[in-house]
Amino acid sequence: MGLARAAQMLALAPVLAAPAAHAGNTVPPARLENPLAAIPLSQLATTRDRPLFVPDRRPPPPVAVARDTSPPPPAEPPSLSLLAIILDGHQRAIVRAEDTGKILRLQIGDNIDGWRIARIEKQRIEIVHDSRAIDITMFKNDQPKQKLAGGAD
């Protein structure tokens, strides 16, 4: 029985000596717990390309991303106040962009937020986008009239 015990001790000698063999190693102890930690990821490409637990050993096909094919919503017309119209051979409109407060000088064909100036008339401008057209008037009928300081209308 002594011989069998000696054979067991010889078989266990490499396992018992393993911690001592790693004592001089510069690898941090946390990395020694995972045997793959010492292998660079670039050498593990086969594992990614041929997964172990997939029956055909091929990676899953790439997921097709569904693309939205619906047309984009129509652009909202810019919020403009018509301040003045100049009709001296070169039709121009002076407007104020309500969101920024900027004063803009526009001519027929100019673009503002994707809308094109199509027509400039005495008291209105027409802006178009695709098949939509919007009129912006200088004096709106739904606004209350302002009274003069003298009391007369």
- Enter the pTM of the model: 0.46
49-67 per-position pLDDT tens digit: 777 777 777 777 788 888 8
Q: What residues pair up with 103 in beta bridges, in sequence order?
A: 96
Express each pLDDT in 113-127 by its tens digit: 889 999 999 899 999
Contact 134, 149 (CB under 8 A): no
Which SS3 state, helix, strand or coil, does residue 18 take?
A: helix
Predicted confidence at residue 93, as pLDDT, reads: 94
User: For the chain, what percent of residues have pLDDT higher than 90?
Assistant: 29
Q: Which pLDDT belongs to residue 11? A: 55
Domains of the chain: 2-49 (no CATH), 80-137 (2.30.30.830)
pLDDT in tens, 13-48: 555 555 544 455 555 555 467 877 788 888 878 777
Which stretches within 23-57 are classed as H helix?
A: 29-32, 45-49
Name the residue type at position 29. P
State how beta strands 91-97 and 80-87 pair.
Answer: antiparallel
Predicted confidence at residue 32, as pLDDT, reads 61
How far apart, in whole angstroms, are the C-alpha atoms of residue 98 and residue 112? 13
